[in-house]
Structure 1
Amino acid sequence: MPQEVRFEIPFTTPVSEHLAYARDRHLRWVREKELVRSEAGFEEYLSWDLLQATLRTYPHASPDDTVVLMNWLALSFLFDDQFDSGQPDRADRIAEVARELIVIPLRPLGSPPRVVCPVTTAWVEVWAQLADGMSSAWRSRFAANWGRFMAAHSHEVDVAARSAVLGLDEYVAVRRWTVGVHHAIDAGERSRRFEVPPQAAAHPLMLRLRDAATDTIGFMNDVHSFEREQRRGDGHNLIAVLRHARGSSWEDASAAAIRMTDERLRDYLRLEEEMPALYDELRLTDDERARVSMGVEAMRHWINGNYEWALTSGRYAADKDGPAAVAEKQGHGSLDDLLSA
């Protein structure tokens, strides 16, 4: 049922028309970089339909940039699925790889990874492409948000390895980063070759808007992915946290998670209405206002685009069988080991 839950999003967003151009190029790259290493893993990856996620979240990217963004989403999602609670040393290896992923954007572009595995070698290439033509301010902002995502992800893995349970407030704070949306919104600027002016990007109103968008996406994702994560024994999910914190039934916890999601979406919409005051306060030029407006559009693209993709993606399907279901029952969502050279 969770994947079938519908939310009322009062806006629509466009979808890129570059699927035909990007599809084969992307899938060939995924194989060449060994981000999938088996036929079963490749079939599982295809069922996720990350191509559609890219077309919806980055609808204005050029054909070539669409390929780059597909490649980036692939390595991000596939890395996210590498945790196996059945292997005691897995958390340490994930932390080692995550640290390497954090520092790659801090080195000269194209520097070879010091921890070698498919996700690190792929990230060296993709980061050089993402950073191309972007200012040092944008690169620093993206790298900082990417680093927070990786650090939070490692914390999540450590919590799972210890079979610990987070309280609601701590979970919400961690989830804001493990969902990986802050740097994905930054990539929205790269997808259209513009940058939000630094004074606007750092403004408290813009930061609150991004947090509201991120929470909305994270909570929606938790609702839609709940059955998949329950199969895996993964407690890093809003529904599971609410049930534990309140001692409620699964049904009541699900209803509470849906209410929280709706509330954060309303927060986002209310903060959007305050944006004209930011323009006036910062005395932005017409060009600067246009770039901030596109930055807000990037958030909308992720809210609605990710939502529409999650409704049909095989990544969250409740009726899985075959090798992928076996992998999830063993405690991880990927059939292939991507952390070994």
Structure 2
Amino acid sequence: MPQDVRFDLPFTTPVSGHLHSAREQHLRWVWEMGLVRSEAAFEEYQSWDLPQAAIRTYPYANAEDMVVLMNWFSLAFLFDDQFDAARPDRADRVAEVARELIATPLRPVGSKPRVECPITVAWAQVWERLAEGMSLAWRSRFAASWGRFLVAHTEEVDLAARGGHLGLEEYVGFRRRTVGIHHSIDAGERARRFEVPAQAQAHPVLIGLRDAAADAIGFMNDVHSFEREKRRGDGHNLITVLHRDRGHSLADAEAEAIRMTNERLADYLEFEARIPEMCEELGLSYEDRRRVDMGVEAAQHWINGNYEWALTTGRYAAVKESAAATAELQGRGSLDDLLTV
């Protein structure tokens, strides 16, 4: 099964020791914020084990920040599940909520959401903590990456509502935005309390590195989540696109998706090897070079951490036994409606 597919990643990354205490606080917060509204949904949500993803992708966050990062993780995943391919009538509401999520980082910190539902109220609270202590430059960069991710999400919803499909070339560029890795790497700076210098962020080498990381992670996710998305009728998956657009059998499409993933991992390594040359070209100080290196580590944490989590998470499991999963297998894209009060 695709979730069992292994990739030979070129590095290992550390794991935070804050799992147990942070997970307990996080799960309590998810329930209290109304992000799960039934026991079945809570059971299913726990099977995803997002706290494991957080401790692997942000291994240097302190105990308090780890809770914030786990809380943030829940919002992106739960919002992603709010669109059901069998209910195109929800597209307008998804877009309305997405606009509110995009606007939150652009308003004064602590502003009350203008569109209220569990997702927007929780995001306003989380953003207040994420923005804490970070510069305007970082907040603006995060907001831009977050906005591109959410705009792409609404485009995906609209495309599915109209019964449209993307060809392979279009999908590759689109997936780079929907995977949400750019702002996730940005959050790695917040987790470790540093900022990559602006001139390095704007350099083609670092841009290429982040894009390659996003593609590799997106493609790996598509391989590991294929069974889940197939049963939901979700065509936003590289294997499905290769099968439909290129006429591959599913087995050949899976093999090609794996090849494309490995190709982008190789591209990532090439960009990483050019980082010292980039720092020299920019004339960066020792301290700025150290921040660049930590930014590269943030990308590594996401590549490896997300991969390790994807191999075991119940979110991508092909066979589910819980009551919540049974409801999903019957055609529900989301277990609880989080877009209404």
Which category describes the TM-score, using the shorter chain as reference length?
A: over 0.9
Q: Distance in 1 between matches of 2:28 and 2:281?
A: 48
Q: What residue ranges of structure 2 are gaps of 5+ in the alignment?
A: none
Corresponding residue number in structure 1 for 2:141: 141
Q: Distance in 2 between matches of 1:331 and 1:277?
A: 52
Corresponding residue number in structure 2 for 1:50: 50
Aligned AA for 1:197? P
**1:68, distance to aligned residue in structure 2 (A):** 0.2
**1:163, distance to aligned residue in structure 2 (A):** 1.6
Map 1:80-91; keep pairs closer than 5 Å. Answer: 80-91=80-91
From the superposition, tell whether residues 260 and 332 of structure 1 become closer, same or farther in structure 2 (CA, over 3 Å): farther
Map 1:181-330; keep pairs closer than 5 Å. Answer: 181-330=181-330
Q: CA-to-partner distance for each residue in 1:125-155, whole Å, 9 max, x for gaps?
A: 0001000000000000000000000000001
CA contact (8 A) 2:85 2:333 kept: no
Q: Distance in 1 between matches of 2:198 and 2:185?
A: 15
**1:324, distance to aligned residue in structure 2 (A):** 3.1
CA contact (8 A) 2:35 2:118 kept: yes
**1:331, distance to aligned residue in structure 2 (A):** 4.4
Q: Distance in 2 between matches of 1:46 and 1:38?
A: 12
Q: Distance in 2 between matches of 1:288 and 1:105?
A: 26
Between the two proteins, what is the percent identity of the paired residues?
69
Q: Give the total of aligned pairs.
A: 341
Q: Distance in 2 between matches of 1:21 and 1:235?
A: 37
Aligned AA for 2:82? Q
Aligned to 2:284, the other structure's residue is in SS state: coil
CA contact (8 A) 1:324 1:334 kept: no
Q: Distance in 1 between matches of 2:224 and 2:122?
A: 28
Map 1:52-201; keep pairs closer than 5 Å. Answer: 52-201=52-201
Aligned AA for 1:206? L
**1:326, distance to aligned residue in structure 2 (A):** 3.7
CA contact (8 A) 1:56 1:306 kept: yes
Aligned to 1:89, the other structure's residue is in SS state: helix
CA contact (8 A) 1:200 1:206 kept: yes
Corresponding residue number in structure 1 for 2:35: 35
Q: Distance in 1 between matches of 2:110 and 2:11?
A: 40
CA contact (8 A) 2:209 2:268 kept: yes
Aligned AA for 1:43? E
Q: CA-to-partner distance for each residue in 1:239-298, whole Å, 9 max, x for gaps?
A: 000111111210010100000000000000111001111110100000000000000000
Aligned AA for 1:236? H
User: CA RMSD for the aligned pairs?
Assistant: 1.0
Q: What residue ranges of structure 1 are gaps of 5+ in the alignment?
A: none
Q: Distance in 2 between matches of 1:321 and 1:183?
A: 34
Aligned AA for 2:167? G
**1:86, distance to aligned residue in structure 2 (A):** 2.8
From the superposition, tell whether residues 35 and 203 of structure 1 become closer, same or farther in structure 2 (CA, over 3 Å): same
Aligned AA for 1:89? D
Which deviates more from structure 2 when the two are superposed, residues 24-33 or residues 146-155? 24-33
Q: Distance in 2 between matches of 1:225 and 1:188?
A: 24
Aligned to 2:187, the other structure's residue is in SS state: helix
**1:57, distance to aligned residue in structure 2 (A):** 0.2
